[in-house]
Chains A and B, each alone.
Chain A
Amino acid sequence: DAGVIQSPRHEVTEMGQEVTLRCKPISGHDYLFWYRQTMMRGLELLIYFNNNVPIDDSGMPEDRFSAKMPNASFSTLKIQPSEPRDSAVYFCASSPRTSGGQETQYFGPGTRLLVL
């Protein structure tokens, strides 16, 4: 298996522009997670999906952020408009169906976003 695939790997954009991050989870995994990692705040969960349905988006920082999962093999995280404080590494992770939360989350390589 190719693992979790994210694109782009690097993104540099100007403040105010729309940014779309993409993720392909591991085939057969029921859960998909979006995280953001910064030096100041560490790794934070933004939103997660179960069977393509958003379950918890309480970590999404504000209305400028939105995430979708139109099918089991694709998800997007969109920032519109982007701001310099959105600069971070964004990770997508997937996990098989959980029974008590012991299953491993498999992370993609991340997208390094820089907003100028």
Chain B
Amino acid sequence: RKEVEQDPGPFNVPEGATVAFNCTYSNSASQSFFWYRQDCRKEPKLLMSVYSSGNEDGRFTAQLNRASQYISLLIRDSKLSDSATYLCVVNRASGGSNYKLTFGKGTLLTVNP
């Protein structure tokens, strides 16, 4: 089983749609979780961290289920500018010097006018 698995996509949605991305991780020792966004031919950039209680940032909502080892990202009222690849990221950091991010292969989202 891959360490981080995501919906392969691609997702094509109209503007204004709600879209959800799912991700599972295999290592129960994983301690922190993120969604990164990567535009075409650009570098990945942090979109948001994912906290156990769930968290929201504007139109974006992230949730974590540790028991199921499952992470999700919900985008409401999608915009053309949301078109990108969304990367699920897991960190097995145990404090201090152990800091390794494992990236999913990403899900491509295209928002159409």
Known contacts A99-B95, A100-B93, A101-B31: does B102 contact A45 (CB below 8 Å)?
yes
Q: Which residues in window 85-116 of A have CB below 8 A to B? A: 91, 95, 98-102, 104-105, 107-110
Q: Which of A12-20, A48-56, A67-75, A76-84 contacts B (4 or more CB under 8 A)?
A: A48-56
Q: Give the CA-CA distance A31 to B99 in the complex, in Å.
A: 9
Nearest Cβ in chain A — how far from B21, in angstroms?
15
Say whether A98 contacts B93, CB under 8 Å.
Answer: yes
Q: Is the interface of B mostly helix, strand, loop or mixed?
A: loop
Interface residues on B, range: 20 to 34
Interface size, A (range): 20 to 34
Number of A-B contacts (CB under 8 A): 53
- A91 and B99: CB pair below 8 A? no
Query: Does A61 interact with chain B (Cβ within 8 Å)?
Result: no
CA distance A107 to B36 in the complex (A): 11
6 residue pairs from A and B, CB less than 8 Å apart: A43-B87, A44-B103, A45-B100, A48-B100, A100-B32, A102-B32
Pairs A-B, 4 closest by C-beta atoms: A101-B93, A107-B43, A42-B105, A43-B103
